[in-house]
Amino acid sequence: MFYWIYDYPAWTIGLLFASVFVAVAWTGTFLARKSVHEWFHSEPRANEMVGFALSSFFVLYGLLLGLLSVAAYQNYATVSDLVDKEASSLAALYRDLSSYPEPIRDRLTDQLREYARYTIEDGWPQQRAGIVPRGGTQRIGALAKILFAFEPVTKGEEIKHAEALRQFNHLVELRRSRLANVTTGLPAVLWWVLALGSLLSIMLIWLLEMEIHVHLILGGALAGFLGIVIFLIAELDNPFRGEVSVGPDSIALVYESLMMPEALPPPEAGPQRNAK
């Protein structure tokens, strides 16, 4: 839900949410004072009962908002940590592949470099649009084909190859976890509950009886903050989308500092062998 908000700056959408909630609160206040107030406040203690209902309702609804806000942030933080781990695994695998003998070393490192470039330049923009990128699968598959075809000759090569295979499998697992979070988000039913709770909150504010300027100030402040909190949940709900999102910075750092040609160390001398 609310996917359209990710196409605009966060401050604009936050201001829009707050403004809409305040506008609804103020409009309903004027309408309620002209229609239901006279009937509803025929009971002298009606204001006290509305205040009690409002405070009781906000205990439950505030708890729901707090839990969802924490859940949205934790999901955002988890995805950010997942991307950092993928970058670390990518760097470790690249260093492992750099220890292979020529000419297979260049084939392996070039393929992994191409995968990293694709993830940063092509895959991430697709993630920001809510699309699971598919091109990385082909590049990982091509790398696996070369890696699995390698046959170690010495004991040292066997140890290095086993470590590279372990690191490669770890990278694949992290990549799959990242892609699984591209379309993650709160279930639609929770958004319906949030919307209904917001409406009930504002309707209870309408029913309060007080001087009009006090009613507008207190009602507007409460409704505006309510809109900001719901905007926060929506903004963090999809960790790869919008201005407040997880970017490829850690992967880009590995690519630029380790994989770019000018960052590469001179190749080690080693036995030559034919590519498999």
Query: Does the global pTM surpass 0.95?
Result: no
Write out the two tokens for 168: 């490669």
Q: How confident is residue 101, by pLDDT bands cut at 50, 70 and 90?
A: confident
At residue 275, the pLDDT reads 37
> Is 276 part of any domain?
no
Phi, psi values for residue 8, rounded to 5°: -130, 160
What domain range includes position 125? 3-263
Q: How far is CA 248 from CA 73, 85, 116, 120, in A?
A: 18, 12, 10, 6
pLDDT digits (tens, 9 = 90+) for 8-64: 888 899 999 999 999 999 999 888 888 877 777 777 777 788 888 888 888 889 899
Residue-wise pLDDT for 129-167, tens only, equals: 888 998 889 999 999 999 998 888 888 889 989 999 999
Question: What average pLDDT does this structure show over 78-89?
Answer: 94
d(CA 100, CA 115): 19
pLDDT computed for residue 243 by the predictor:
84
Per the structure, the count of domains in the chain is: 1
- 245 domain-assigned: yes
Per-residue model confidence (pLDDT) at position 276: 35
Q: Has residue 273 been placed in a domain?
A: no
The residue among 84, 35, 32, 56 whose CA lies nearest residue 205 is: 32
Query: pLDDT tens for residues 235-255?
Result: 888 899 888 889 999 999 999
- Residue 175 pLDDT > 90, yes or no? yes
In eight-state DSSP terms, residue 258 is I
**Token pair for residue 165?**
């295979």
Q: Is residue 133 part of a domain?
A: yes
Q: Which residues of 11-39 are buried (b: 16+ CB within 10 A; e: fewer)?
A: eebbeebbeebbebbbebbeebbeeebee
Confidence of residue 119 (pLDDT cuts 50, 70, 90): very high
Q: Which residue has the higher pLDDT, 270 or 209?
A: 209
Would you say residue 44 lies in a domain?
yes
Q: 274 lies in a domain?
A: no
Tokens of residue 237, six digits: 């709900």
Residue 269 lies in a domain: no
Q: Is residue 272 part of a domain?
A: no
pLDDT score for 2: 67
Tokens representing 189?
């039913």
State which amino acid sits at residue 114. E
